[in-house]
Amino acid sequence: MCGIIGITYWSGEAPPDEALLRRMLGIIRHRGPDEFGLYLDGRAGIGSARLAIVDLETGQQPIPNEDESLWIVFNGEVYNHPELRADLERRGHRFRTRSDTEVILHLYEEYGPESLHQLNGQFAIAIWDARRGELFLARDRLGVRPIFYTLLPGGLAFASEIKALLLIPGVEARLEPYGLAQAFTFWAPQPPRTAFEGIRELPPGHYLRAAGSTPAIIRYWRLNFPRAGEELRLSEEEAAEELRALLTDATRLRLRADVPVGSYLSGGLDSTLVAALARLHIPHTLCTFSIAFEERAFDEREYQEVATAFLGTDHRRTECTNADIAAVFPQVVWHAEAPLLRTAPAPLYMLSRLVRESGIKVVLTGEGADEFLGGYNIYKEDKVRRFWAAAPDSALRPLLLRRLYPYVGHLAQAGDAHLRAFFGRDLLAVDRPGYSHWIRWQNTSRLWLFFSSGLRGALDGYDPVGELLDSLDGDLRSWSPLAQAQYLEVTTFLSPYLLSSQGDRVAMAHSVEGRFPFLDHRVVEFCNRLPPHFKLKGLREKHILRKSAEGLVPPPVWQRRKQPYRAPIAPAFLTCPPDYVGALLAPEAVRAAGIFDPEGVTRLVRKLQSSSVVSEREEMALVGILSTQLLHFLFVENFPPQIIPEADPVRVCRAGRTRMDTGGHG
């Protein structure tokens, strides 16, 4: 794992500034504090802040090919690199290291962009072709690892995090109205858009090529499903066996490392199964890590203890209080670089800190199971609403919705009439693309009411949902309703939010790499071909995964109903709040930032402070407003920070010459 950066100028008249590149590495030092490296020539400078996990001794980056015409920096892991290396050696390629990074470079040398199809892993790749003056950037299929870029006069710059790009003279930090509108609709800006003007994110499953002109951005992989009724024909037993075999191999590959590997264990089915599969391959004790909450409604320690006793792991747990969430939230926003509509990333930030303090750099996690095996309530909601729409006058069918959201106060306590009104909006529009997510998007976009008049004016006529639906895969309508919902969940939520703000950003803040067996592309493609009722049987989520887990996971865990991962919001910020909360939500601060309506924010805070009944939308509004105010404070008003951690010493390669600088640079 690493952080990567680079600047290219096509003409070569003004070579990249080495001091600037060093500062860019320094500001993302947390991503890879073990080693720092730069390659420089007259037109390009690329660099790496390395978290050493594979080939600890010789895997320093940047790495060249044999004649040094190609140079690579790489963030991520390629789990099948030994097999790929053996084939490349048979083809005559010579290696200087044992790293997966060098395997990617030679594979690209052999096959070009088609090489991406051979990679099993998570990656953000940058390759500079010094001979042709061409930059190649690529991102993994599902967007586990980030890469951002911005166009410069006569060039292009890229980085693993936006903050590195904002150090470049002429690149100003300005929040982008459309990016904010998307965040307050889908929970995150949708690639290629970000929360910042002029900064773009390479979408998952895409690569970029640039050589002195507008970059060409090309999709090399897409999320796909069979036509409805054309899914795999196999028995449940066959499907469960095949799924277990794929997950077992995916986990085996993700244990490849030259450092110890641990595992997150929430007490739910997904993470417990991953830990159980890892336990099959680890002869010594497996370290597992979890979060516990002071508020019982969020706490899962009972199931964590059942799972760890069954698996016999060395378990460590961090206790998260409401005060902890408020205390770390500014650091979480600094790393997320986007508005947040949930506090859930904050406990995960604390969890990754515990992992690092325990001497572990790599953890397995269970992300992806809910998306690809039917684990979310939004899939059940879609199924029930379609069932209700077939008999819209039924008084009984909408009552099934009461079973879905016991943790959402205003829905759990609402009467039947309110339930029908809330979920009955556009009930009969079952043929509309986006039907499954329509209510969520409409409910979240009501937060636009808190926007300032200036921001609403800038957004006049902008429809993020319409923009998204116009961009959808043309085959979407031919898929089953569940497949359509899965596609939308993965595209709008998993990649831009869950794998970012709750994944890469909070883990890499403490130099911890997450690995995801459920996101192995072989697992994903198999799950996508399964019949819908194997995933969602009636209203029983992840049916086939439960069958696969029997015998590996204790019954209380694999039989339990899914408990969504959530964290407190209003109590964290409004009960004994830290000073920054009042300062940033004060009318004068809100007015100065210009993003939200000061009077609306004041009314919201007063209501949350005085009322015992708080709606989910009001809590989303509070954390969304506070996180955006923090984003403005950290990046627009006070960037760059006074102290940028040094990237030091830096290994510098220049056109065939390499030297090590040992001090005095930041």
Phi first, then psi: what are they for 404, rounded to 5°? -90, -40
Dihedral-angle region of residue 77 (phi above 0 means left; psi in -120 to 50 means alpha; beta otherwise): beta
Q: How many residues does the chain have?
A: 666
Tell me which residues are annotated as active site.
2
Phi first, then psi: what are they for 273, rounded to 5°? -65, -40
Question: Buried (b) or exposed (e) across 380-410, using 16+ Cβ within 10 A?
Answer: bbbbbbeebbeeeeeeebbebbeebbeebee
**CA neighbor of 442 nearest in space, from 423, 414, 428, 418:** 423
**CA neighbor of 424 nearest in space, from 373, 459, 473, 389:** 389
Phi first, then psi: what are they for 583, rounded to 5°? -65, -45
Q: Cα–Cα distance between 377 and 371 in angstroms, integer? A: 11
Q: What residue type is assigned to position 315 of the chain?
A: H
Q: Cα–Cα distance between 292 and 302 in angstroms, integer? A: 10
Q: What residue type is assigned to position 642 of the chain?
A: Q
- Residue 374 is encoded by which pair of tokens? 């039917």
Q: Cα–Cα distance between 550 and 561 in angstroms, integer? A: 15
Distant-in-sequence contacts of 576-584, Cβ < 8 A, 24+ apart: 576/323, 577/326, 578/326, 578/327, 580/330, 580/630, 581/326, 581/626, 584/626, 584/629, 584/630, 584/633
Q: Cα–Cα distance between 457 and 464 in angstroms, integer? A: 15
Phi first, then psi: what are they for 285, rounded to 5°? -70, 135
Question: Buried (b) or exposed (e) across 343-352, using 16+ Cβ within 10 A?
Answer: bbbbbbbbbb
Signed CA dihedral, 361, 364, 365, 368: sign only = positive
Phi first, then psi: what are they for 192, rounded to 5°? -85, 0
The set of residues, in sequence order, having a beta carbon less than 8 Å from that of 641 and lying 6+ positions away, is none
At residue 404, the 3 state secondary structure works out as coil
Answer for the pair 643, 637: CB distance below 8 angstroms, yes or no: no
Q: Cα–Cα distance between 539 and 542 in angstroms, integer? A: 10
Question: Buried (b) or exposed (e) across 125-134, using 16+ Cβ within 10 A?
Answer: bbbbbbeebb
Residue indicated by tokens 């009467």 = 415
Q: How many CA atoms lie within 13 A of 374 on its CB side?
A: 28
Angle value at C-alpha 404, between 398 and 408, nearest 5 degrees: 110
Q: Cα–Cα distance between 172 and 174 in angstroms, integer? A: 6
Phi first, then psi: what are they for 110, rounded to 5°? -85, -40
Q: Cα–Cα distance between 53 and 574 in angstroms, integer? A: 41
Q: What residue type is assigned to position 438 of the chain?
A: W
- Quick one: DSSP state of residue 644? -
- Quick one: DSSP state of residue 494? I
